[in-house]
Chain A
Amino acid sequence: MNNMKKKLLGLPYYIWCAVFILIPLGMVFYYGLTDKSGAFTLENIASITAPEHLKALALALLLSVIATLICLLLAYPLAMILCDMQVNQHSFIVFIFILPMWMNFLLRTLAWQTLLEKTGVINSILQFLHLPSLTIINTPYAIVLGMVYNFLPFMVLPIYNALSKIDDNVIQAARDLGANGIQVFLKIKLPLSTPGIISGITMVFVPALTTFVISKLLGGSKVLLIGNVIEEEFTQASNWHLGSGLSIVLMIFILVNMVLSAVFDKDGEGSFL
């Protein structure tokens, strides 16, 4: 009886889940696996092999992998520094770090557009200093920059979380048994924070791989990622079937990533959500 009541409490969420997650997902699969006449086909999925689609997928994979790696390299040392700080100090830094996340994602990305433009803020300053101007807007570099900027907190927080759970005594025990600073890092800190790293990778890689906003705003129309291709199929070409088919392909990459992270992070230790 009590159990039933508890289940009833979940009802609003289950309805939400069904209406906004399961039904759309079913629709994506329906459109992806049918043609315009409604007959079953694998053509939409197979069209990923078209050169322009493959190119967009490869570029999206490449840029999101690069962005993920940069995030990891920036986030890990930062997370370590945060862990060594006094509580009142680090909560301030974390606050500063999360502050931009309270601003709208689109606005933040638009701001970068303004900064990076040929006549934008950065180039004006460079010109003023008689330095050569920067032309990274509408290039893959700008997209990677946008990805790193937007997704970095999602890398820092799980790693910080995992690192801060490591007991000081464990580090001291390793020192006591003869390990120097590097050995402590390689043999203790790194393995114990792996769940956080995996979780951070997932949380940066998945949105980076599927983004179309960052590439649209910072890549102009010159750099097409798979996300942009899918978006165009839905909005401009009105070909929901092809868009859904490509989405299914993209979903496979995301699922692989999810499975990998589930294997490495069995206890869900690294996730902070």
Chain B
Amino acid sequence: MNKVLIDLKNISKSFDGEMVLDDLNLYIRENEFLTLLGPSGCGKTTTLRILGGFTSPDQGKVIFDGQDITKLPPNKRQLNTVFQKYALFTHMNIAENIAFGLKIKNKSKSYINDKIKYALKLVNLDGYENRMPDSLSGGQQQRIAIARAIVNEPKVLLLDEPLGALDLKMRQDMQYELIRLKNELGITFIYVTHDQEEALTMSDTIVVMNKGYIQQIGSPERIYNEPENAFVADFIGDSNIIDGIMIEDKLVEILGVKFPCVDTGFGNQKPVDVVIRPEDVILTDPLKGRISGTVTHLIFKGVHYEMEVTAGGYEWLVHSTSMFPVGTNVGIQVDPFNIQIMNKPESEDEEAVMIDE
């Protein structure tokens, strides 16, 4: 495990009396690709701006490499930011844009020229030195913004929804590009996005946030397969979230039917949330299923069919490679290890938050 590079301690921030971050604690390791993921207003961008020094927290400390940098202005911090809308200097050409940080640090001309060449090569845009930012496409401008940041050899690169303004194809290309860059540079990337697919593709660690709180921290696999609460399950991918009662260890009752599962330690006769991913719902002959119902919707999605099945009074979302026409009676089967049990939110307040989303 790499050593801890950044430590956010008890960070709180409110704007106009509205709490944006509430006692947030988070550490980030060296050479990690960490993504802050959440819906708009969840506090992810504020967290990034606190790291960059553009916003100061009301309470708490930012520890960077063992030093308290909470009050340090952005120009004194050893990290660089890539902004959502590129923020290139339109009155300078590409070479001057990239050289900006180095010139301020009074680096020699030959050093700067080498760095410009190196950075342009790294982002696959060699030969663009004399172009003006306006003459570049969105994707190219974003790559220049990345080049402009990394020539300063920051220990951490902060990326604020950098792919948000690009079209789908470009976004996918850039995702691979960013992973490659991170591996070549060997520095920490902190990435902010509301796009769960982006987060799953690129990250080593995902921090799911909502309403100023961290909901779950973990690897993409863990976040997807073992969401800790209904919010995470709902936000990451599609899912069926059904009220259930934990009868005993390894046995849960949903929609009046008992399903074997693998979770233990929730107690007996306890109300729980049950998450079942749509691709884990197996459709079979009505007699072979644990519960039976009728297909009500059918859409072809390319890789799979997306179906809605009404069974036991619940609309099940199902992804399957085999097709069942609308009106077909089907049985539903779920493998025990694909049933994810979660505690119900404790307070009504928390529940309200969930329903909001």
Q: Are B90 and A172 in contact (CB under 8 A)?
A: no
Q: Are A172 and B85 in contact (CB under 8 A)?
A: no
Give the CA-CA distance A17 to B346 in the complex, in Å.
76
Q: Contact residues of B with A, CB < 8 Å?
A: 52-54, 73-75, 80-81, 83-85, 87-91, 100-101, 104-105, 145, 148-149, 152
Q: Contact residues of A with B, CB < 8 Å?
A: 167, 169-170, 172-180, 183, 187-188, 191-192
Contact with A178, one of B83, B90, B91, B104 (Cβ below 8 angstroms) = B104
Q: Are A177 and B87 in contact (CB under 8 A)?
A: no
Q: Are B100 and A174 in contact (CB under 8 A)?
A: yes
When C-beta atoms are compared, the residue in chain B nearest to A188 turns out to be B89
Find the residue from B52, B88, B91 having the highest chain A CB count within 10 A. Answer: B91
Contacts of A187 in B (CB 8 A): 100
Contacts of B84 in A (CB 8 A): 169
Contact with B91, one of A167, A172, A180, A192 (Cβ below 8 angstroms) = A192
7 sampled A-B residue pairs with Cβ under 8 A? A175-B54, A176-B149, A177-B152, A178-B104, A178-B152, A179-B75, A192-B91
Contacts of B104 in A (CB 8 A): 177-179, 183
When C-beta atoms are compared, the residue in chain B nearest to A195 turns out to be B91
Contact with A176, one of B52, B85, B88, B105 (Cβ below 8 angstroms) = B52
Nearest CB of B to A104, in Å: 40
Contact with B80, one of A167, A169, A176, A183 (Cβ below 8 angstroms) = A176
Q: Are B83 and A175 in contact (CB under 8 A)?
A: no
Contacts of B80 in A (CB 8 A): 176-177
Nearest CB of A to B147, in Å: 12
Contacts of B87 in A (CB 8 A): 167, 169-170, 172-173
Q: Are A173 and B152 in contact (CB under 8 A)?
A: no
When C-beta atoms are compared, the residue in chain A nearest to B76 turns out to be A178
Question: Given the interface contacts A176-B74, A178-B75, does A167 sit within 8 Å of B85 by beta carbon?
Answer: yes
When C-beta atoms are compared, the residue in chain A nearest to B77 turns out to be A176
A-B pairs, top 6 by smallest CB distance, nearest first, are A177-B101, A169-B87, A173-B87, A175-B74, A178-B104, A169-B83
Contacts of A170 in B (CB 8 A): 87-90
Nearest CB of B to A198, in Å: 14
Q: Are A173 and B75 in contact (CB under 8 A)?
A: no
When C-beta atoms are compared, the residue in chain B nearest to A170 turns out to be B87
When C-beta atoms are compared, the residue in chain B nearest to A191 turns out to be B91
Nearest CB of A to B93, in Å: 13
Contact with A169, one of B85, B91, B152 (Cβ below 8 angstroms) = B85
Contacts of A167 in B (CB 8 A): 85, 87
Q: Are A175 and B73 in contact (CB under 8 A)?
A: yes
When C-beta atoms are compared, the residue in chain A nearest to B99 turns out to be A177
When C-beta atoms are compared, the residue in chain B nearest to A180 turns out to be B75
Contacts of B54 in A (CB 8 A): 172, 175
Q: Are A173 and B91 in contact (CB under 8 A)?
A: no
Contacts of A174 in B (CB 8 A): 89, 100
Give the CA-CA distance A163 to B323 in the complex, in Å.
60
Give the CA-CA distance A178 to B81 in the complex, in Å.
11
Instruction: List 18 additional contacts besides A172-B83, A177-B75; criterion CB under 8 Å.
Output: A169-B87, A170-B88, A170-B90, A172-B54, A173-B83, A173-B88, A173-B148, A174-B89, A176-B52, A176-B80, A177-B80, A177-B100, A177-B104, A178-B75, A178-B105, A178-B152, A187-B100, A192-B90
Contacts of B53 in A (CB 8 A): 175
Nearest CB of A to B286, in Å: 58
